[in-house]
Amino acid sequence: MTATALVWLRQDLRLADQPAFAAAAAAGAVIPVYVLDDETPGPRHRLGGAQRWWLHGSLAALAADLEALGSRLILRRGRADAVLARLADETGAARIHALRHAEPWWREAEAALGDRLTLHDGGNLAPLRHVVTGGGQPFRIYSAYWRALQAQLPPPVPRPAPARLAAPARWPASDTLADWALRPTRPDWATGFDMTPGAAEAERRLAAFADRVDAYEDDRNRPATEGTSRLSPHLHFGEISPATVWHGVDGHADADKFRKELAWRDFAQGVTLALPDYDSVNGNRKYDRLAWRTGAAAEADLAAWQRGRTGYPIVDAGMRQLWATGWMHNRVRMITSSFLVKHLLIDWRRGWEWFWDTLVDADHANNSVNWQWVAGTGVDANMFSRIMAPLVQSEKFDAGAYIRRWVPELATVSDARIHDPGPGGGYPPQLIGHREGRERALAAAQRLRAGG
């Protein structure tokens, strides 16, 4: 065991069930490295503010876990392929080990590293290249993907973290995490972020969720109930593997709905493998001709949506939860997204950008596929004419307590009025009535069908 290898970390910030660490540890000394790369992704895809907040905590937790094994985390900044090549030359590392990633910018960096790089599977329930159509292409329809995935399930039993990691003869220089200034200071807009990054917290959340996974199918739609797993940022940053989550709910007969959501995450990555610009280009190109609203009035409506000042309590509660905590309940994500696209007739890409900057779990594939699903512009999507009624959704899923928590102006409003209270007491009027917004969206779709 004399070889030295780099382990290139990205959204796989864990030691357990991490094949890149396992392969490097079996061969010799290990140098774990995270490169903060704002160049390869480009301006649109570099980490947003909320993701940077989470990344700080995740890297700090991983560094502590590595120190417990007699290792350390090396931090470097710059273009990942160039930084890693220099670091390999500097340390004499013969190999660079990493997990495969689906983001187009990471695939570009992987290709640039060439033969120095050894890629491992470990970020999905099954390797994406193994779940493809008869023609060898990623699936673009989720139901077909789910059927094909069955042959690959269950995923392998997760492997434990290495008992130790051999250190190199000399450690290379490293940036300090504090110097990266990933967390806000003046002003600190993240004071309400109440989730804890790191692999240990991911394991704790999984164990807690397993006790209530049997109620997931119903409770996940109720924003006032802790019905979701809250594992999404942990999965996004790879603090826990999908296989670990899958097996973490073994023995629960009603876990299938939750497991299908894990599979949706992988399906979304397959879509973006096939369509790498899916975050900015309509999957159904006929919607390129849809007349989205632009100009000063549309910008004012966008700003009101971002601030949670639309006059629709369930929408406003969700947008305020997002800003205050960096997270939003899944059902409310659909409601707020649909409101922006259909009621306000604002391009879904504007919403994509806001979510990318404000969600701690902002995932390129999920963010893109979910926005296009809601907008009706994607390859496997809702019809554009399906317009969610926020007032109906709010009442149906009993969102009263959720609204009172995040829209304090409505804290004393009765159950009978909480979903549609009207303006007053500092609460704004509706930007547009439901019927008016629906008719405007349907008219835009009709003009599109007519070729206008």
Fold for 124-158+200-274, please state it: 1.25.40
Contacts by residues 223-230 (CB-CB < 8 Å, ≥ 24 positions apart): 223/314, 223/317, 223/318, 223/329, 223/331, 223/332, 223/397, 223/399, 223/402, 224/398, 224/399, 224/400, 224/401, 224/402, 224/405, 228/329, 228/330, 229/205, 229/258, 230/195, 230/205, 230/327
User: What is the pLDDT confidence band of residue 2, given thresholds at 50, 70 and 90?
Assistant: low
Task: Please give the pLDDT value at position 452.
Answer: 54
Separation between Cα atoms, residue 108 and residue 153, nearest integer Å: 30
pLDDT tens string 383-415: 898 999 999 999 999 999 999 999 999 999 999
- Domain borders along the chain are 1-120, 124-158+200-274, 285-449
Which CATH code is given to the segment(s) 285-449?
A: 1.10.579.10
Query: What pLDDT score does 325 carry?
Result: 98
What are the distances in angstroms from CA 404 to CA 199, 314, 359, 393, 411? 33, 10, 22, 16, 5
Q: Are both 1-120 and 285-449 of the same fold?
A: no
**Interval 207-232 mean pLDDT:** 95
Q: What is the pLDDT of residues 40-53, one digit of tens each?
A: 999 999 999 999 99
Name the superfamily (CATH) of residues 1-120: HUPs (3.40.50.620)
Rounded CA separation 106/112 (Å): 10
